[in-house]
Amino acid sequence: MIGRIVKVISNQFTVLCNNQIYDCTARGIFRKNREVPLAGDFVEFDVEKKLITKILKRKNELVRPPVSNIDKALIVTSVGIPAFSSNLLDKMLCIIEFNNITPIICFSKLDLLSKSELEEMKTYINYYKNIGYEVYLNTEISEIKQIFKDNVTVFTGQTGAGKSTLLNSLNPNLNLKTDEVSEALGRGKHTTRHTELISLFDGLVADTPGFSALDFYDMSKTDIRDNFIEFNKYRHNCRFADCMHDKESNCYVKKMVGEGRILSSRYENYLNFIRKVS
Site residues, Zn ion (CB under 5 A)? 238, 243, 245, 251, 253
Nearest to 89 by CA among 228, 239, 245: 228
Nearest to 108 by CA among 88, 86, 83: 83
Tell me the helix, strand and coil percentages in the chain, rounded to 5: 35, 25, 40
Q: Nearest distance from residue 83's CB to Zn ion, in Å?
A: 31
Strand 42-46, strand 2-9: pairing: antiparallel
**CB nearer to Zn ion: pick between 116 and 249:** 249
Instruction: Identify the H or E element spanning 240.
Output: none
Q: Nearest distance from residue 231's CB to Zn ion, in Å?
A: 8
Q: Nearest distance from residue 230's CB to Zn ion, in Å?
A: 13
Between the two ends of the chain, the Cα-to-Cα distance in Å is: 45
- 8 A C-beta contact, residue 6 and residue 204: yes
Q: Nearest distance from residue 272's CB to Zn ion, in Å?
A: 17
Q: Nearest distance from residue 240's CB to Zn ion, in Å?
A: 7
**CB nearer to Zn ion: pick between 19 and 249:** 249
Measure the CA dihedral 29/31/37/42, to 10°. -20
**Can you point out the beta strands (E) in 56-190?**
72-78, 102-108, 134-137, 152-156
**CB nearer to Zn ion: pick between 42 and 231:** 231
**CB nearer to Zn ion: pick between 124 and 270:** 270
Mapping DSSP to helix (H, G, I), strand (E, B) and coil, where does residue 266 land? helix
**CB nearer to Zn ion: pick between 253 and 263:** 253
